[in-house]
Structure 1
Amino acid sequence: MLKYVNTGVVFQEIPDEVTLSINLSGCPCHCPGCHSSYLWEDIGQPLTPSALDRLISDYESDITCVCFMGGDADPLYLNELACYMHSAYSDLKVAWYSGRAKVPRGVCRDNFDYIKLGPYIRHLGSLKKRTTNQRLYKNCDGGGFIDITSRFWDV
């Protein structure tokens, strides 16, 4: 069971979206230099569909996307939550920030509108750096995923 620690409405995680960011605990990646190392612990409240409903109800008219920040502890359950999101909230996009290098077996990529992949590697930098190993992909209706990481870079 995944647990969430806190939430926030953010504008920078997913380009062109007003996003409810949900921080999930129990991260197994333990990236050196992680800015959210407190999320390595098994803390917080269970993230169930009803908990998700409560979190969304506070912001539903203001947001366009829900982003799961983490979830690598149980990606198959996160996949189920993404399915739930698409059926219960068809007007909201679903995003996942994962520290994994690739989408885990058993997770259907099409359940997500956006997926960020890649562990944080300090000397390569975050998504804002051109040198980053991390990538944000956007699901293009029926056309697969495209890399939109460059949207974070100053041009």
Structure 2
Amino acid sequence: MTSETKLFPPAGNKAALEAGDVLTPRFGPDGTIACVTVDADSGQVLMVAYMSAESLALTIQTGEGWYWSRSRNELWHKGATSGNVQKVVELLTDCDQDALVLRVRVDGTGATCHTGQLSCFYRHAPIGQKAAEGPVRLEHIGGDRLFDPVKVYGHGH
């Protein structure tokens, strides 16, 4: 990963961090920052991923969603394989600049999840279950898949 100090200045004092006009993201010990990605029109949460300094800089530069894949340990241009590229409408940072929100519109089928679902959040755990009494049940709420992941990514994805 590229060092964040080469791409973004260090955070200043609390006042500069919270009210300043310069992006000074506070990356974690692993060099990443959490990013919640939402649909620019509906507000639906599409995914949560992490950005490195390099992927954040590329996102700002290109206007498309770039992330750091912690599982693959590599830079990741969302939609490069599937065609479901995220076009950034707005990038937000929180008060202490240690988390991001991307508001996007998705090209292609509109699916964000590698499973073919619109959102990575396609299941919910009904409230009221008692975890101490057995496994908490999940229910599918995502609708139909928008693409077949085997056709897009091949077997084993």
TM-score w.r.t. the length of structure 2 is 0.25
Flag the structure with higher helix content.
1
Larger Rg, first or second structure (1 or 2):
2
TM-score w.r.t. the length of structure 1 is 0.26
